[in-house]
Amino acid sequence: MRFGLNTFLYASPFTTESVKLFPKLKKWGFETVEIPVEALEHIDPVKVKAAADKAGLSIGTICACMGPGRDFRGSPEDQRNAAEYVRGLIDQAVVLGHARVIGPLYSVVGLAEAHEEAERKLQFDLVVKNLKPIAKYAEERGVTLCIEPLNRFETDFLNTCEQGLKLIKAIGSKAVKLHLDTFHMNIEEKNQAAAILRAGPLLGHFHACGSDRGTPGGDHIDWKPIVSALKQIGYNGDVVIESFTTDVKVIARAAAIWRKMEPKRDDIAVNGLANLKKFFKRK
C-alpha cells in the first residue's frame, strides 16, 4: 500500500511543467502521485514519467476528467469523444508505468437529473456497451480501469458501491475494478466500512478525503473501521488524498469549494499524510 496525492490540490490543468511539484511531494513523504489529465495534449507522458523517476515517485494513477462533451450515455458525438479520450488516457498510462485510469468513467460530471426506470436502464445498457470495448483495450495493454461512484449532487448515474459493482459485473472484464472515495461514501453509503467489505477484491483504488473535502483525519469520519475493512479485504493499492482548495479556482468552482478548508493548502497534504500514517500504523 502506498500513500499518494492528487495534484488538483495544486494545479488545474496539470501540464508537463507541473512536474516541478514532484520534489516537494517526495520530500513530504508521498510515494505516489495521481495526475488528473484534463486534455491529452496537456502532458508529455515520457517527460512526466522521467520527472517522477528523478524525484523518486511513482505515477500510480491517472484521473479521468469527464467534462462536457465526454459522456458514454450522451449523444453519439459525446460517446465518441469520451471513447477517444479514455483510450488516449490508457495509452498515456502505459507510458507512465501502467498507471491505473480512475474516476467517473461513464458520464460527464455534473449531470444529475431524475429519470424514469426505463430511461435509467437504457442509459446503463449504453454505458456498458461503450465500456466493454474500452475495457478490452485496457486489458490488452495491461492497464486497469477503476470506476468511481460519485455523490448525488455530481451524478445521477452511479452513487454507491453496490451500483458500481453492478456496472463492473455487466462489463465483465478483469481490467475493470471499483474506485471508492470517502467523501462520496460519506454522503451515499449507510456504512463506509461495510461498502469496502462489499467491494472486496474488486476494490482497485481508494481516495482518502475529509468529509468536507479537507484534511483526512481532520474531520468527523471514523477512520478506524475504514482502515480495518481495507486490511480485512487485503487491499494493497494506493490510498490517495484528493482534496480541493479555493487556491485552484477552476476546481474550486467545479467542486463547490467556497471557503478555505484549512488555513493553508499544504496543511491538507502534510497533515493528511501524517494522519494516514497514524491510522494505518505506518512510519
Q: Which domains does the chain have, with CATH numbers?
A: 2-279 (3.20.20.150)
DSSP state for residue 99 in the 8-state scheme: P
Q: Provide mean pLDDT across the span 150-177.
A: 97
Q: Which of 118, 279, 100 is nearest to 205 (CA)?
A: 100
Per-residue confidence at 252, pLDDT binned at 50, 70, 90?
Answer: low
Beta strands, E only, 123-175: 145-147
- Which of 148, 154, 188, 189 does the annotation list as catalytic? 148
pLDDT at residue 244 above 80? no
Annotated catalytic residue 242: yes
Per-residue confidence at 246, pLDDT binned at 50, 70, 90?
Answer: low
Q: Which of 77, 62, 156, 145 is nearest to 105 (CA)?
A: 145
What is the three-class DSSP state of 44?
coil
Q: Provide mean pLDDT across the span 177-185.
A: 97
pLDDT at residue 264 above 90? no
pLDDT at residue 73 above 80? yes
Q: Provide mean pLDDT across the span 53-73.
A: 97
User: What is the chain's mean pLDDT, rounded?
Assistant: 95
Task: Give the pLDDT confidence of 82-107 residue by residue, as tens digits.
Answer: 999 999 999 999 999 999 999 999 99
pLDDT at residue 258 above 80? no
pLDDT at residue 50 above 90? yes
- Supply 205's cell numbers: 483504488
- What's the confidence (pLDDT) of residue 283? 76
How far lies 76's CA from each of 72, 81, 120, in Å?
Answer: 9, 9, 17
- What's the confidence (pLDDT) of residue 261? 78
As a residue count, the chain comes to: 283
C-beta of residue 67 within 8 angstroms of C-beta of residue 172: no
Entry pTM:
0.95
C-beta of residue 199 within 8 angstroms of C-beta of residue 169: no
C-beta of residue 197 within 8 angstroms of C-beta of residue 233: yes
Per-residue confidence at 14, pLDDT binned at 50, 70, 90?
Answer: very high
Q: Provide mean pLDDT across the span 157-168.
A: 98
- Which of 38, 188, 242, 262 does the annotation list as catalytic? 242
pLDDT at residue 65 above 90? yes
Q: Which of 240, 247, 228 is nearest to 269 (CA)?
A: 240
Annotated catalytic residue 31: no
CA atoms within 13 A on the CB side of 207: 32
